[in-house]
Structure 1
Amino acid sequence: MSDSSASSSAPDDSQPTPDHLLHTGTEGPIDPEDLVRLSGREPTPELVEEARRRLEEEGPAAAERYLP
């Protein structure tokens, strides 16, 4: 006896991912620590404060420069 329900729920790698499942990550809130990590650096109090100011000024666009 085989379990066909397990194979039917697995993603199909032969098809492209539907657009509604793709996202850049800026649809939701971004915290300053995330912005620092996106830039490839470790969060320090100074970098987190700089990122907080950048998020206040630029909003989600501050993170979009680091995302594909």
Structure 2
Amino acid sequence: MSTSQPDASQPEASRRSADRATPDSLLHARTGTDVSPEDIVLASGKDLTPRNLEWARRKLDEEGPTALDKMLP
């Protein structure tokens, strides 16, 4: 089955909802737990080094937990 052709066995409402993009606010993976400097470093793709951890601490101090949300798709 081609993804460009709708599945005739699905109701039209289901097909329409499948065509919509997920809102950005629902794509973030943070679960409400505390964000650590390690989380920030790893989300940025950097190595866990003392220098990168200090950078992440400053970023958390300035931006709070939303610093991680800004880095995630």
Q: TM-score, normalised by structure 1?
A: 0.60
2:36 maps to amino acid: D
Q: Match for residue 40 of structure 2? A: 35
User: Does structure 2 retain, via aligned residues, the 8 Å contact 1:36–1:47?
Assistant: yes
The 1:32/1:25 distance shift into structure 2, 3 A limit, reads same
Pairwise mapping of residues 8-27 of structure 1 onto structure 2 (< 5 A)? 24-25=29-30, 27=32
Shift of 1:28: 1.1
Shift of 1:33: 1.0
State the number of aligned residues.
48
Root mean square deviation of aligned Cα:
2.1
Q: Unaligned stretches of 5+ in structure 1?
A: 1-21
Mapped pair 1:63 → 2:68: yes
The 1:32/1:65 distance shift into structure 2, 3 A limit, reads same
CA–CA separation in structure 2 for the residues paired with 1:66 and 1:23: 9
